[in-house]
Amino acid sequence: MRPEILAPVGSPEALTAALRCGADAVYLALPAYGARAHAQNFSFPALEAAIAACHARAVRVYVTLNTLLLDAELGDFMDAVQRLCALSVDAVIVQDLGAARLIHQLAPTLPLHASTQMSVQTLAGLETLAALGFSRAVLPRELSREELRTLVRHSPIDCEVFVHGALCTSVSGQCLLSSFFGGRSANRGDCAQPCRLPFSGTQENGSDQVLSLKDLSIMDALPELAAAGVRSLKIEGRMKRPEYVAAAVRVCRQALDNVGARHDVPLPVHTTGNQQKNLHAVFSRSGFTAGYYYAQRDSTMQGARTREDVTAARDALPALAALYAKESPRTGVTFTLSGGLGEGLYLCAETDAHAVSLAENTPLQRANNVQNSARLQEQLAKCGGTMFFCRAANVQLPPNVYVPVASVNALRRQALCALEEKMAARVPIACAPYEKVSLPPRVPTAQSLQLRVATLKQVPQDLRGVSQIIVPLSVAKHTPPRAGTNCVWAVEIPRGVCGQERTLLADLRAAQAQGYTRAIVGTLDGAALAKRAGLAFAAGFGSNICNSACLHAWQALGAAEVLLSPELTRVQASRIHSPLPTAWFAYGRLPLMLLRRKGYGAQLFDRKGKAFPLVEVGGDYTELLACTPVSLAGRGDECRFADALLLYFTDETAAQCQAVLQAFRADRASGISGESCRGLPGWTVQGGASP
């Protein structure tokens, strides 16, 4: 099956560009719930018109609902889903596991696509998505060619792959950098892109932008992606200009058509020069990169937008605008014109799937001369300016009747309009109304402490009040838990697992043999692997749990406990109804980014000279930690909504870990050395309440 070309649409003008340049599908967003909050996006009336235009051209429409949701937003969100079902969208793209669960329960026939923000990287994760009702997954950009082929070959659901556009340096769905710097959550569609600011490996020189990557472009790999079975070739760029959309779609279209992937639409030929050159000109960050795809994850991937890039784009725009200046014919029509002396004039117009018949009731008169059928065929074939082209024009008239050309033209126009309406018509998707059930928040009877350590040397001797100790899998597979404790000893499964499924499963079984009884997971991959290894599991850092529906989804998966998202405010977290015990991030350096690259060194410095530690976390992955740790010591009364407080140790000494534990045990701030913060800026900005 030929893969679809999936175009980004952030405005009506971009939609026109996508349709006229050969897109098979488009993705767009409502004013809320999309991962690009600052795109123009579509109101419901504009969306209805966009869907009609697309469906008339056999172009699919996917609506992005891929942000994390708060409990207070679930009602309006499901109302929006109901309206989308009434408009018969072709699929919705979702990140929030709770939102996906609600959609599948209330509108089971609405296709669900798993956003790349869900961070699903393994076959086990894809199988979990299939069991949850997803029909497609947007694969991570960090996959290599071989990893991608393996997943696509064995996946139980369709796979979508980014082939061009902006490239985040962090694994999607695992980035808190924007929240950390200004309270703008990337997971909620409001990324401020602080990774594009200066970061360097030396304190003296903060001008290098080592976290800023060039845009992705693997256009040369489209034929092999098609051969591998990739279902959808996705272009990033809902914030980009229509000229960008036009250029990217056209290059994809030509790449597929040039290798014999037949396309039914006779696209017009434009003399705009080298399309690849235009694509480079319209938007790039000092060029493009295919580093992830070809497993060349090094400094050559880095790039920033320069003055020369901006100038090149300005010069390229007029030529690129010509790509979508006129409607491109997409659908073939066969016309049959008939009638007789004293009768009306009849026109039948047929496509492969639809037909309409129209009549001009004015009786035909006798002609002075023999009717010229060729002229009438020529008039019928004039479909210019529409989405149709004439396949055949049949004239079935006696030679002795006079047919006004104006009547033929009017019938042709009416027939094409009627065909377009017929092609745009869709049956609404059934969706039950969402009935919000107000349940009281969970009120724990007691609160314990949980410790996450980087090494076993950090585990304090005195573990009074500690209910769980979390140890990285890389450590746990070699070292048994300390004997004689009353704690649950858990292994932390890495969040970055591309290409490591078999290795991780073996390591989990080794850790289980050492005596660990629980796994802490940050993704659906981890949950699936923990189950296969026979371990109980809890949803930990990276699982992005922001609402009650998400908690119920994790409970249905089998989770024993959950860590609430650190992007929630204290007030938001306290109002969640949880069917499971909950934990709250109370101390530690927040992991701000998960990078599938090495070689940065021990730390990075921002433009103010603040140091952000870097920690290798297994495989090819590195975590960027916050420059200062969170500390809620002494604020225990404000965190009573959680069953446990998580103390997340990374680079602390054993003595520091002991001091932090003692401070939390006594609920006092004193005793913790060094600078600390009260949490993400959003903890005080969002919701108007501090933790």
Q: What is the pLDDT of residues 208-222, one digit of tens each?
A: 889 999 999 999 999
Round to whole Å and give the CA distance between 389 and 232. Answer: 27
Got the DSSP string for 497-517? Answer: -TT-HHHHHHHHHHHHHHT--
Q: Which tokens go with 246?
A: 């036009």
Q: In whole angstroms, what separates CA 626 from the centre of its chain?
A: 25
CB 593 within 8 A of CB 177: yes
Q: Is residue 37 scored above 80 in pLDDT?
A: no
pLDDT of residue 160: 98
User: For every residue of 576-598, which 3-state class applies, written as one string?
Assistant: CCCCCCEEEEEEECCEEEEECCC
- For 349-371, write each residue's pLDDT tens digit: 999 999 999 999 889 888 877 77
pLDDT of residue 613: 96
What is the mean pLDDT of the segment spanning 168-192?
Answer: 93
Round to whole Å and give the CA distance between 232 and 7. Answer: 10
CATH topology of domain 448-589+629-674: TIM Barrel (3.20.20)
pLDDT of residue 291: 96
Handedness of CA 169, 150, 8, 36 (dihedral sign): negative
- For 63-103, write each residue's pLDDT tens digit: 999 999 999 999 999 999 999 999 999 999 999 999 999 99
Q: Is residue 252 scored above 50 in pLDDT?
A: yes
Banded pLDDT at 264 (limits 50, 70, 90): very low
Q: Is residue 388 scored above 70 in pLDDT?
A: yes
Q: Which residue has the tokens 């480079």?
A: 280
pLDDT of residue 306: 84
Banded pLDDT at 255 (limits 50, 70, 90): confident
Provide the residue type at 479 as one letter.
Answer: T
DSSP E strands, 386-443: 388-396, 401-402
pLDDT of residue 553: 97
Query: Where would I find the H helices in 87-216?
Result: 97-106, 123-131, 145-154, 177-182
Question: Kind and range of the H or E element at 318?
Answer: helix 307-321
- Intrachain domains 4-167+213-324 and 448-589+629-674 with the same fold: yes
State how far the alpha carbon of 352 is from the alpha carbons of 205, 426, 615, in Å. Answer: 64, 17, 58
State how far the alpha carbon of 615 is from the alpha carbons of 8, 298, 592, 622, in Å. Answer: 35, 17, 11, 5
What is the mean pLDDT of the segment spanning 535-544?
Answer: 98
pLDDT of residue 259: 61
State how far the alpha carbon of 274 is from the alpha carbons of 110, 316, 362, 581, in Å. Answer: 40, 11, 53, 59
Q: Which tokens go with 53?
A: 């235009």
Q: Which residue, among 330, 334, 331, 328, has the nearest Cα to 412 in the 3D structure?
A: 334
Q: Which residue has the tokens 């400094």?
A: 299
How many helices (H) and strands (E) are present in the chain, helices listed first? Answer: 20, 30
What is the mean pLDDT of the segment spanning 11-32?
Answer: 95
DSSP assignment letter at 26: E
Q: Is residue 395 scored above 60 in pLDDT?
A: yes
Round to whole Å and give the CA distance between 539 and 546. Answer: 12
pTM of the model: 0.93
The lowest-confidence range among 34-38, 60-64, 227-231, 275-279 is: 34-38
- For 289-336, write each residue's pLDDT tens digit: 999 999 999 999 999 888 888 777 777 888 889 999 999 898 999 999
Q: Name the residue ranges covered by the structural domains of the chain.
A: 4-167+213-324, 335-424, 448-589+629-674
Quote the mean pLDDT of the chain.
Answer: 91
- For 157-176, write each residue's pLDDT tens digit: 999 999 999 999 999 999 99
Q: Which residue, among 333, 336, 338, has the nearest Cα to 350 in the 3D structure?
A: 333
Banded pLDDT at 135 (limits 50, 70, 90): very high
Pick the CATH number of 4-167+213-324 from 3.40.50.720, 3.20.20.380, 3.30.200.20, 3.40.50.880: 3.20.20.380
